[in-house]
């Protein structure tokens, strides 16, 4: 059935409790145990995370994206002030002692906006793909990596070494399902990634939170785990109770065209479609389909409308 979802309503808020101030135990991730790279002390290890002064980092002149939304950058900067820069940049060393961004320019801009003097980064020797792959795989085998570092290493093998999940699983000696589960951790909100990284929540907690669609609810549940010391089973029970809370669709009136969108698209999928819209107007449409025939029918309708 087509439905509209609006995020964390009053009923959910009442069940989860008031948001707690956990700043005393939720300190920004600073990678303070990582080596600092300077002009006089260049990096030797390209597989580990190192810290680089922001003044030594230069944007990539070939970056296809030239404009960055100011409001979104400020939101990311505020997140970085609270939780730190959780996912490092990837840079390459230049002959002048500087480092050029390969990926993560948006994170770099937000980090500067947040006032960071050092940022965590992977330093890649882009000239030798095989050596890079070997270095990353070797780094994954270390026992002191936290779950987010493992997940980011897997993502690097996909993005920088052009490996599929199946090939990557072979390289690291893991089951593909295990690799997939780690990669899903990077879809969690920054707050949850932070708490997973520093050990305030477990991988078991994170897997349960991934089953919750609304990021606001994920964050509220994360606060509850940290504040109340919930076990994985207790978290599962709490989510079951949340699912029984009736939706509060009357809280926000939506323009008529949203319902027309649901009506038009829903007819191809038995109305099995939902729409989530925040106060800013941003949102997502989720379609659940039952067969290839449904998708083929939808594609055929799109092609006919273009003629």
Residues labelled as active-site residues: 105
Q: Report the DSSP pairing between strands 89-93 and 118-123.
A: parallel
107-127 burial code (b ≥16 CB/10 A, e <16) = bbbbbbbbebebbbbbbbeee
Q: How many residues are present in the chain?
A: 307
Start-to-end CA distance of the chain, whole Å, equals: 30
Cα 54–chain centre separation: 23
- CA–CA dist 227, 29 (Å, integer): 19
Residue 203 burial class via C-beta count within 10 angstroms: exposed 0-12, middle 13-18, buried 19 and up: middle
DSSP letters, 136-180, are HHHHHT-TT--HHHHHHHHHHHHHHS---HHHHHHHHT--HHHHH
């Amino acid at each position: 059935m087509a439905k509209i979802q609006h995020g964390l309503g009053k009923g959910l808020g009442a069940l989860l409790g008031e948001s707690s101030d956990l700043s005393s135990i939720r300190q920004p991730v600073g990678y303070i145990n990582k080596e600092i790279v300077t002009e006089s002390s260049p990096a030797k290890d390209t597989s580990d995370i190192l810290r680089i002064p922001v003044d030594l980092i230069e944007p990539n002149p070939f970056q296809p994206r030239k404009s960055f939304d100011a409001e979104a950058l400020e939101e990311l900067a505020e997140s970085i002030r609270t939780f730190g820069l959780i996912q490092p940049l990837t840079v390459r060393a230049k002959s002048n002692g500087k480092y050029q961004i390969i990926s993560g320019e948006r994170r770099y801009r937000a980090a500067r906006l947040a006032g960071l003097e050092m940022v965590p980064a992977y330093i890649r020797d882009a000239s030798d793909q095989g050596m890079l792959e070997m270095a990353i795989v070797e780094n994954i085998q270390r026992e002191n990596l936290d779950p987010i570092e493992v997940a980011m290493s897997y993502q690097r093998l996909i993005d920088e070494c052009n490996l599929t999940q199946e090939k990557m699983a072979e390289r690291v000696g893991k089951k593909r399902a295990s690799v997939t589960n780690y990669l899903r951790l990077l879809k969690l909100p920054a707050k949850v990634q932070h708490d997973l990284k520093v050990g305030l929540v477990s991988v078991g907690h994170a897997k349960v939170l991934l089953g919750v669609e609304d990021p606001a609810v994920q964050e509220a549940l994360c606060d509850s785990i940290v504040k109340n010391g919930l076990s994985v089973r207790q978290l599962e029970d709490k989510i079951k109770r949340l699912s029984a809370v009736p939706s509060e669709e009357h809280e926000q009136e939506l323009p008529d065209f949203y319902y027309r969108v649901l009506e038009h698209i829903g007819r191809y999928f038995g109305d099995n479609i939902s729409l989530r819209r925040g106060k800013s107007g941003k949102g997502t449409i989720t379609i659940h389909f039952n067969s290839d025939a449904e998708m083929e029918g939808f594609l055929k309708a799109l092609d006919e409308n273009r003629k």
